[in-house]
Homo-oligomer: A and B are copies of this chain.
Amino acid sequence: MSDNQLEQFRAETKQWLEANCPESMRRPIQEEDDVCWGGRNFKFQSDDQKAWLDRMAERGWTTPTWPKEYGGGGLSREEAKVLKEEMKNIGARPPLTSFGISMLGPALLKFGTHEQKQEHIPKIVRGEIRWCQGYSEPNAGSDLASLGTKAEDKGDHFLINGQKIWTSYADKADWIFCLVRTGPKEPKHTGISFILFDMESKGVSTKPIKLISGYSPFCETFFDDVEVPKANLLGELNKGWTIAKYLLTHERAMIGDMGLPAPLTPMARECVGVDSNNQLQDKALRADLAAHEIDGLAFALTMERAGDEAKAGASLGAFSSMLKYYGTELNKSRHELILKLKGSDALEWEGQASQNGKIAKQWLRTKANSIEGGTSEVMLNIVSKRILELPDA
């Protein structure tokens, strides 16, 4: 695409966004309720929120680069980047956030049949169905491949029994994409299948898990004789691990996709105070802040470089594990630093001054970053084995 065409696209996009993005959707996301997750039971916060979703979904711009055929935006990478930039320019919120977009979609597009894509993708694009991910089990965390949830072949359907854990928003989701065991347990990776089913199916129940952060974004999810049509299998029988790995790599690479986080300078200046040289009063904290911000800059640039290399045709591969490791550890450090900048004020748990403990709860929330989606230890294992090629014991 020529620069001219791209500039024209930018102009049109700017104009369209100006005309179609409601004013109230141009304010930063402040809390959980501001996020539009979509789904059968989603309560829109406002008419504006619904209008913004519908307008964007109509153009497929909730999923800008997905094929037009299934309702996506059909944009090139360059165009999608322009759209993102122009949305950022007016402070437009994402119209829709969902695991359908960030996780299942890419797998459906790569491994799904035409029928499966036709059935599921448009509903994801329009925010009609909210998905959740059924991977981890109580005894299969880092060692995901040892999962035990069984799907027995009953002719026209599978009969599913077992338990998942850490299922994000399972209590709010309409459908689940799920790893189940359809083959023998050893060798572990080859007996796993990737299957989709409705959470309203008979035999599915969920129980939220209360976290140390006070939030309950995760559930325990139980399957008790759940019948799932065979057509709901994604990809080949017993080849689900390939899809899961593809998605995990994808997910890990996205972790840092939020770009450079907001600088902590304003908070630091306000909470710590500055001296006559316009430097933070607390010099040791100032040095820690500078070191952290430099690390953050280096990481954001690494995400950018990985993206640019991918565009240039390089395969990201195990590099995504490094990004996942580094980005999540950095985010944990960032929140420890925020605690230090705000001092004891950061520890308020309830009350208006702290917006009901937003800082403290976010801080605790980050502790899961290096556990979920593959622990830091597993990421380091992957880097040492697949990139550095260090031998197994």
Contact = CB atoms under 8 A, between A and B. Distances in A.
10 contacts: A283-B283, A283-B284, A283-B286, A283-B287, A284-B284, A284-B286, A284-B287, A284-B290, A287-B287, A393-B393
Contacts of A284: 283-284, 286-287, 290
Interface string A274-286: 0000000001101
Query: How many copies of this chain does the complex contain?
Result: 2
A287 B393 CA distance: 41
Contacts of A283: 283-284, 286-287
Contacts of A287: 283-284, 287
Contacts of A393: 393
Nearest to A291: B284
Interface in A287-304: 287, 290
Interface residues of A, dominant DSSP: helix
Contacts of A290: 284
Contacts of A286: 283-284
A255 B286 CA distance: 36
A393 B284 CA distance: 42
Task: Give chain A's interface residue range (CB within 8 Å of chain B).
Answer: under 10
Interface of A: 283-284, 286-287, 290, 393
A290 B284 CA distance: 10
A148 to B, nearest CB: 24
CB-based closest 5 A-B pairs: A283-B283, A284-B287, A287-B287, A283-B287, A283-B284
A286 B290 CA distance: 15
Given A283-B287, A284-B286, 8 more contacts: A283-B283, A283-B284, A283-B286, A284-B284, A284-B287, A284-B290, A287-B287, A393-B393
A337 to B, nearest CB: 14
A28 to B, nearest CB: 33
A286 B287 CA distance: 11
A284 B294 CA distance: 15
A287 B289 CA distance: 13
